[in-house]
């Protein structure tokens, strides 16, 4: 079933650490018209932070590359977020998604990023190709308090 897109945005930004905060705030601003509950908004921002941080610290380790974040608001209060990089990629995605798995234990990474994204989404999809990059897609139905009409306020 193809859901109607009510609103959408795409951002491209370099993998600088300060852009983790920018990405969180951008998503937060984009969905603010729906008046999401505080805990829900905070979970979405945390999930986005984890995805963007992974691009910064893993995908483009020792270099700076482009991160592309796409957010769509679909009918039925469904939120679609994708975070894409063209970095080093992940050889074994299933293993990388296991809680506590990390390739950067020396840097105090807990290996919980994917577990957090998973628990704060209804569905998390991770596709990756070594040397080509990774795309993380999160889907979540919002418990919005505002009715949607898609025709402006």
Q: In the complex, which residues of this chain contact ligand ADP (CB under 6 A)?
A: 50, 54-55, 58-59, 85, 87-90, 96, 101-104, 109-114, 134
In degrees, rounded to 5, the angle at the alpha carbon of residue 119 between the alpha carbons of residues 23 and 140 is: 65
133-141 and 123-129 beta bridge pairing:
antiparallel
- Of 87 and 113, the one with the shorter C-beta distance to Mg ion is 113
Active site residue 18: no
Catalytic residue flag (residue 24): no
Least Å from the CB of residue 110 to ligand ADP: 5
CB of 40 to ligand ADP, least distance (A): 21
Of 120, 4, 23, 26, nearest in space to 73 by CA? 4
Considering the candidates 19, 54, 72, 140, report the single residue annotated as catalytic.
Answer: 54
Q: Name the strand (E) or helix (H) holding 117.
A: helix 113-119
Q: Decide if 109 is catalytic.
A: yes
Out of 40, 43, 50, 118, the active site residue is: 50
Cβ closest to ligand ADP, residue 46 vs residue 148: 46
Quote the least distance from Cβ 103 to ligand ADP, whole Å: 3
Backbone angles phi, psi at 20, to 5 degrees: -65, -45
Question: In this complex, which beta carbon is closest to Mg ion, that of residue 73 or of residue 83?
Answer: 83
Distance CA 42, CA 137 (A): 18
Binding site for Mg ion (CB under 5 A): 54, 113
> Which residue, judged by CB position, is nearest to Mg ion in the bound state?
113
Q: What are phi and psi of 50, to 5 degrees?
A: -65, -40
Is the Cα torsion angle 81, 120, 85, 49 positive or negative in sign?
Answer: positive
In the complex with ligand ADP, the residue whose CB is nearer, 75 or 98, is 98
Q: Which residues are catalytic?
A: 50, 54, 109
């Amino acid at each position: 079933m193809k859901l109607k897109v009510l609103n959408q945005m795409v951002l491209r930004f370099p993998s600088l650490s300060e852009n983790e905060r920018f990405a969180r705030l951008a998503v937060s601003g984009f969905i603010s018209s729906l008046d999401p509950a505080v805990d829900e908004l905070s979970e979405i921002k945390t999930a986005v932070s984890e995805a963007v941080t992974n691009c910064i610290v893993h995908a483009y380790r020792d270099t700076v590359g482009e991160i592309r974040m796409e957010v769509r608001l679909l009918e039925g209060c469904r939120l679609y977020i994708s975070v894409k990089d063209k970095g080093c990629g992940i050889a074994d995605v299933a293993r990388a998604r296991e809680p506590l798995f990390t390739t950067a234990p020396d840097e105090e990474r807990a290996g919980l990023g994917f577990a957090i994204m998973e628990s704060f989404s209804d569905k998390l999809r991770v596709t990756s190709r070594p040397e080509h990059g990774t795309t993380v897609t999160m889907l979540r139905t919002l418990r919005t308090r505002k009715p949607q009409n898609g025709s402006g306020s």
